[in-house]
Amino acid sequence: MSFGARLAAAMERHGPLCVGVDPHVSLLTQWGLPDTPDGLAAFSDTVVTGAAGSAAAIKPNAAFYERHGSRGIAVLERLLADARDADLLTVMDAKRGDIGSTMAGYADAFLRPGSPLEADSLTVSPYLGFGSLKPALDLAAETGKGIFVLALTSNPEGHDVQHARTASGEAVAAAVVRQASALNEGATPMGNVGLVVGATVGSAVSDLGIGLDGLNGPILAPGVGAQGAGPDELAQVFGNSRSRVLVNQSRGVLAEGPSLERLRAAVHEASDAAQAALEG
């Protein structure tokens, strides 16, 4: 099955929640864990176990593993393998973006079946030009993996690039959405090329003339819950596309660790809340 089909099935079974796996120093400290590879391993094991069966996916942030060097990367490799064993889809949050053979190398690292860092999908940045993503898009199409393209992020610095207009008058973010949408035409139940769109971007989707309805692919939406977005914001930003929104939550869920029982309950509650918010 392609990533789009697998994700649609997982969202149908478990709801629209993606748990962000972000073992930053303050969170490790809150959990009573050391900021070491051993602390990362204990954290990661607990999150995978707590999310399995209640979330559609998890989103490990590569940066928090890379900062520990080879031993941190080894923990990330094990997390990805454990998630596969738990039938839990993975979104590798690495936001890779480069050109030519370098982009092909990133794609091989995260999307090639059998790679030590193999994930089900990868976040990428199109801001060296959408065409620079071709090696990752081609490999994802070949192997049935998923791609989440940064489109409209909620950080204020993103406006300078994403809200800018091309020579034809089209907003840069709208051009990204248009090109991603073209790659999903005819796919059922949805395509493998998704977008990252912040749930807190307000009226930007309509203001910039962005057509999310035609994407026919998943939308990864950070910003729900602790960052302030609720039913009204989701309706404003995603409109009729809400059925394809994968809600990412990190702090609001992970704060309940290190207790596995409390973490499981928080994941289940967040999944139900995300479903209710999207239907609201």
Tokens of 73: 């990367």
Q: What are phi and psi of 279, to 5 degrees?
A: -90, -10
Omega prior to 218 cis, within 30 of 0: no
Residue-level pLDDT at 227: 67
Residue among 108, 107, 99 nearest 126 (CA): 99
- CA triple 95-45-193, angle to 5 deg: 30
Residue at token pair 């939406």: 221
User: Is the model's pTM score more than 0.95?
Assistant: yes
Q: What are phi and psi of 255, to 5 degrees?
A: -60, -20
In the chain, which stretches have pLDDT less than 70?
225-227
Fold of the CATH domain 3-279: TIM Barrel (3.20.20)
Q: Which helix (H) or strand (E) holds 79?
A: helix 69-85
Residue-level pLDDT at 232: 87
Q: What letter represents residue 97's amino acid?
A: G
Q: Could you tell me which residues come within 8 angstroms of residue 244 by beta carbon, excluding any fewer than 6 positions away?
A: 190, 215, 217, 218, 219
Q: Which residues pair with 93 in a beta bridge?
A: 61
Compute the radius of gyration of the chain from its Cα atoms. Answer: 18
Residue-level pLDDT at 229: 78
Q: Is 4 left (phi over 0), alpha (psi -120 to 50) or beta?
A: alpha
Query: Taking the CB of residue 242, how many other CB atoms lie within 10 A of it?
Result: 20
- Catalytic machinery residues: 95
